[in-house]
Amino acid sequence: MSESIINRQWVVAEHPTKELEEKHFGYKESSVRPLQEGEVLLKTHYLNIAPVMRMYMMKDGGGYSSEKLLSIGDVIHGRGVAEIIDSRHSDYQVGEYVHGQVGWQTYKISSMTDQEKFVKMTPRKLPVHYGLSALGMTGYSAYCGFFHRGYPHPDDTVLVSGAAGGVGSLVVQMAKTIGCKKIVGIAGGKVKCDLVKELGAHDVIDYKQEDVAERLSQTLAEGYDVFFDNVGGEIMDNSLLYMRAGARVVQCGAISEYLREGQFIPQNVIQVRKKAASLNGFFVYRHRHQYKEAEDRIASWIGEGVIKPLVDIEIGFERMPHALMGLYSGNNIGKKMVQVAQTETIY
């Protein structure tokens, strides 16, 4: 079967040091070899677009990458949703779908190793691209970070940065679903801020048009109990001034710091000690034992209509570099991904 299949790939053409440019991406094609025992052939349907991918492409991993360092000519790292179209692996059958480390390519031969972090998708009669949003690592990050690192209660005040992104938009909706007393989002631009309000936030701070420090002092005069941070930098640092006693801060992302030449050093960490608060780092792969809990509960909420996954999909494998470069300008609403397959699939 595989001899006639051409695999298209995006590879590292040049290691970036600052902002991404087209020159950093290379395109190549190759024939797919026959499968060996214990292998499967994956056909890519959707590919994830995430801020950390720039770090994957850097020579030293940018100080944030936990993946294998890439050399010139290597396929760029990235998660995807893929269909098993051929199998010589006893645990995986043709027609099943998985999400995991597919890489920037249209096909992949895999032995389904632990390092590739593949997760079998449960048939739910939902779009397969949910495997990159609400029913994949994005949803796992929102659920596990919020519930198992933020420990929210119904009477809590919750602050969410990056509130119009894939993870942040889910956290806002989860906070609303469990009845949190007050939800404040931070997003960029009127369209995004209006959307975050529609999702359930009581107030939204527009970091592009407003003075964030001043607005935080106004809308959180009595402080917050949970801060789910997706951006890091000055927004995170300013927010530390408004913790209530015993507040929980979940450090999920730091996109604002990824393009800095030097390391960002927060000035207000002393507030954590003063407020007897918790500054909780979060890394989704340390919560694998909670993925099923997260997926089942989020799927139930989707079915009930109380959670609406936000996705921002570009069409066509050729759009991968453009999609990643655009991510840093904040032009996405919801989870950014690229549709590689020609049609949307329900599974």
**Architecture of the domain made up of 2-133+310-339:** Alpha-Beta Complex (3.90)
Quick one: the chain helix, strand, coil %, rounded to 5?
A: 35, 25, 40
Query: For the chain, what's the residue count?
Result: 347
Classified by CATH at the fold level, domain 137-285 comes out as Rossmann fold (3.40.50)
Tell which residue, 204, 202, 157, has the closest CA to residue 181.
157
Provide the pLDDT for residue 33.
94
Q: What residues does CATH 3.90.180.10 cover in the chain?
A: 2-133+310-339
Provide the pLDDT for residue 313.
96
Provide the pLDDT for residue 114.
94
Q: What residues does CATH 3.40.50.720 cover in the chain?
A: 137-285
Tell which residue, 39, 129, 34, 41, has the closest CA to residue 85.
41
Provide the pLDDT for residue 2.
56
Provide the pLDDT for residue 331.
75
Provide the pLDDT for residue 259.
66
For the chain, which residues score pLDDT lower than 50? none
- Tell me which amino acid residue 1 is: M
pTM of the model: 0.92
Report residue 120 as tokens.
């079998």
Provide the pLDDT for residue 51.
85
Tell which residue, 98, 48, 40, 99, has the closest CA to residue 78.
48
